[in-house]
Amino acid sequence: MKQQQTDGGARGAVFAPVDSRARVDAVVRRIGDAIELGLLADGEQLPGETELAGRLGVSTVTLREALMALRQQGLVTTRRGRGGGSFVSLPEVPGEERLRARLRGWSTEELRDLGDHWAALSGTAARLAAERTEPDDLLQLRRTADELAHAQDAPARSRVYGRFHVELAAAAQSARLTREQVALQTEVGALLCLVLGDDEYREEVADRHRAVISAVQDGAHDSARQLAERCVLESTTRLIAVRMSL
């Protein structure tokens, strides 16, 4: 399997210190979601236990418990001996029960608040991108929108969806907004698998993304912001509906 480095760019947020509450669960959630979002590549070697514990701000005991849980979920494998360590194991399809169990941990009020925060980030990024970008700066966003239009399964769609909003923040030329968007995607991005399985909604989202790009290219600040916000809030509404059905 191909191994890649785990530092730099969007991936740096994966290993930022976790919240002090329920640290084992926080580590499992952080790394598990990053794997399912594609921020960590299949076969990639994680940093050594001492280094990884230090970067996450947890003890090595806490980290080992989290790695054990990730192994039980099939998201990490461990090899002993020379060249050994912990390696990412990307599942073909994220466990739906795992995602539903994760969603049960959110109240509808928390999901709504999350949607408001996400909409604010993406709306601001779209507005700034409309002010700051040149047409050539939008090529990657266009490719991502096209990729979403052709993605065949929910896990791939959720990864591309999240990547679009990260790239939108990057197009705004704001490092802080980009970091915030990456952190948010590791928190909620995997849950989008629960709403992106529907082909009709996938096409609707792809159309919304293209509309955002067009508004950004035209320099239509307010329209770009409103379109990006509407896209995020619609997805949040769908997540809330799934949560209420559990």
Query: According to the 3-state scheme, what is the secondary structure of 54-80?
Result: HHHCCCHHHHHHHHHHHHHCCCEEEEC
pLDDT band, residue 19 (cuts 50/70/90):
low
- Taking all residues of the chain, what is their mean pLDDT, rounded to a whole number? 87
Q: Are residues 101 and 174 in the same domain?
A: yes
Q: Is residue 2 part of a domain?
A: no
Do 144 and 60 share a structural domain? no
Element (H, E) at 242: helix 221-245
Please state the domain count of the chain: 2
Range of the domain at 118: 97-245
HSE-CB of 25 using CA atoms within 13 angstroms: 7
Residues 145 and 230 in one domain: yes
Residue identified by tokens 């929108």 is 145
Interval 84-134: pLDDT, tens = 899 998 766 557 887 898 899 899 999 999 999 999 999 999 999 999 998
Together in a domain, 73 and 150? no
**146-177 tens-digit pLDDT:** 999 999 888 889 889 998 998 999 899 998 89
Residues 175 and 66 in one domain: no
The CATH number of whichever domain residue 79 belongs to comes to 1.10.10.10
Whether residue 3 lies inside any domain: the answer is no
152 lies in some domain = yes
Looking only at the bridges linking them, the beta strands covering 76-79 and 85-88 are: antiparallel
Domain assignment of residue 74, yes or no: yes
User: What average pLDDT does range 215-232 have in this prediction?
Assistant: 97
E strand spans, the chain:
76-79, 85-88
Structural domain contains residue 196 = yes
Whether residue 48 sits in one domain with residue 112: no
My answer on whether 194 and 105 are in the same domain is yes
pLDDT at 34: 76
Do 137 and 217 belong together in one domain? yes
User: Is the same domain home to 113 and 223?
Assistant: yes
Mean predicted confidence (pLDDT) in 170-194: 87
Instruction: State the amino acid at position 214 in one-letter form.
Output: S
> Interior CA angle at 18 toward 12 and 22, to 5°?
150
CA–CA dist 74, 76 (Å, integer): 6
